[in-house]
């Protein structure tokens, strides 16, 4: 690739601070020699931190932002400071065309509100949806959306989520024709609410789009790798995602408790450590990092707040991939196709 792919990075967002963000950027830069960054935040602090990353220097431009968004700050307050905060100016760089995508590990609600206000939604989309990648037993991760941006949805919203999720899966997971399902409390046609049944009906007739609608999926099959995209309203999606995270942690806690219950089991644990390490890697959120707001006129990727340098690098590489594949255009085309068919 002759031209450089440039990502705007909120250098001040996230629990690990500037040091972790720069470590992550350096890792991503090493993997992708065509990447360059617009680092947004306190200029003096960034310059000082860059001294530990001499290889990064030539590929970085700094945008000074005097303030940061607090991790507990209300979106309504954050919005008013968009022009002086690292998060606001990171998004603005995408709006101004200075970067192909924005990446922040900061306050999710504030990021969503600012991104929506600044970039606006694609025509026909009321509110952007938040999509993330979940680990699965299959060959690839599973895209799930919406994860909390839209607590109440109608059938048209759910169809749009499915279409946007499929476009995202084609890019992020390199799939030609992602398998798409609606989250429901049973797999029979009659299960669930009128809204979900209506959405299923509409998706069944969307066979002209590059996706395969497979019907309903229940909560106990989310991680089986049987579908590539799971669409749902933001309320159930948030409940499902957090329940999955909480249960994985719960089982890990029980396992830790079990392994430390006797000398014998402690020895067994030490011997089988490479195996449990494999498990840990598979479940590590850093290896699935990068949620994305879909439906905006521009790419905004949200990193886990607690991501380490590997996690940040993954979020940056994901953003770069979405820029290269022109995800925003793809989504617009697919949405146009399904609306045209419905009309």
Residues that bind its own copies (CB under 8 A): 136-137, 148, 151-152, 183, 185, 192-193, 218-224, 234-236, 238-255, 257-259, 261-262, 264-265, 267-276, 278-279, 282-283
Quick one: which of 88, 160, 151 has its CA closest to 119?
88
Q: Supply 143's token pair.
A: 């895209």
CB-wise, 173 or 283, nearer to its own copies?
A: 283
Of 52 and 272, the one with the shorter C-beta distance to its own copies is 272
Indicate the SS3 state at residue 159. helix
CB of 288 to its own copies, least distance (A): 13
If the CB atoms of residues 52 and 193 are measured against its own copies, the closer one turns out to be 193
Nearer to its own copies by Cβ, of 56 and 153: the residue is 153
Least distance CB 71 / its own copies (angstroms): 14
Q: How far is the CB of 193 from its own copies (least distance, A)?
A: 6
Give the contacts of 266 (CB within 8 A, at least 6 positions apart): 259, 260
Name the minimum Å distance from CB 250 to its own copies: 4
Q: Residue 120 or 197: which CB sits closer to its own copies?
A: 197
Whole-angstrom CA distances from 189 to 16, 42, 209, 305 are: 46, 55, 22, 39
Query: What stretch of H or E contains 37?
Result: strand 35-41
Min dist CB 293 to its own copies, Å, is 17
- Min separation Cβ 135 and its own copies, Å: 8
DSSP 3-state of 72? coil
CB crowding 243-252: b at 16 or more within 10 Å, else e = ebeeeeeeee
Q: Which residue lies nearer to its own copies by CB, 24 or 237? A: 237
Instruction: Tell which residue, 112, 34, 70, has the closest CA to residue 324.
Output: 34
């Amino acid at each position: 690739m002759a031209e450089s792919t440039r990502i705007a990075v909120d250098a001040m967002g996230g629990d690990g601070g500037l040091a972790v963000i720069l470590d992550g950027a350096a890792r991503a830069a090493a993997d992708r020699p065509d990447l360059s960054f617009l680092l947004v935040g306190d200029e003096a602090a960034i310059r000082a931190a860059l001294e530990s990353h001499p290889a990064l220097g030539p590929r970085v431009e700094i945008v000074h932002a005097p303030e940061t968004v607090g991790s507990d700050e209300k979106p309504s307050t954050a919005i008013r400071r968009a022009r002086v905060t690292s998060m606001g100016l990171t998004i603005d760089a995408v709006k101004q065309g200075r970067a192909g995508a924005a990446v922040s590990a900061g306050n999710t609600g504030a990021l969503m509100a600012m991104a929506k206000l600044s970039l606006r939604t694609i025509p026909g989309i009321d509110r952007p949806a938040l999509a993330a990648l979940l680990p699965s037993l299959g060959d690839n991760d599973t895209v799930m959306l919406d994860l909390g941006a839209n607590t109440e949805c109608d059938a048209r919203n759910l169809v749009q989520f499915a279409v946007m999720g499929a476009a995202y899966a084609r890019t992020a997971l390199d799939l030609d024709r992602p398998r798409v399902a609606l989250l429901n409390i049973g797999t029979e046609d009659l299960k669930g609410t009128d809204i979900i049944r209506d959405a299923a009906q509409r998706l069944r007739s969307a066979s002209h789009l590059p996706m395969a609608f497979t019907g309903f999926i229940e909560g106990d099959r989310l991680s089986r790798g049987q579908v590539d995209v799971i669409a749902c309203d933001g309320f159930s999606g948030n409940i499902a995602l957090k329940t999955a995270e909480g249960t994985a942690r719960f089982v890990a806690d029980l396992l830790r408790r079990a392994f430390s219950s006797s000398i014998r089991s402690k020895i067994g644990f030490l011997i089988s450590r490479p195996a449990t390490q494999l498990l840990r890697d598979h479940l590590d959120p850093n290896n699935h990092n990068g949620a994305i707001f879909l439906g905006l006129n521009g790419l905004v990727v949200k990193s886990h707040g607690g991501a380490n340098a590997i996690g940040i690098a993954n979020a940056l590489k994901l953003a770069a991939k979405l820029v290269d594949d022109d995800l925003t255009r793809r989504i617009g085309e697919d949405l146009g196709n399904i609306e045209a068919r419905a009309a």
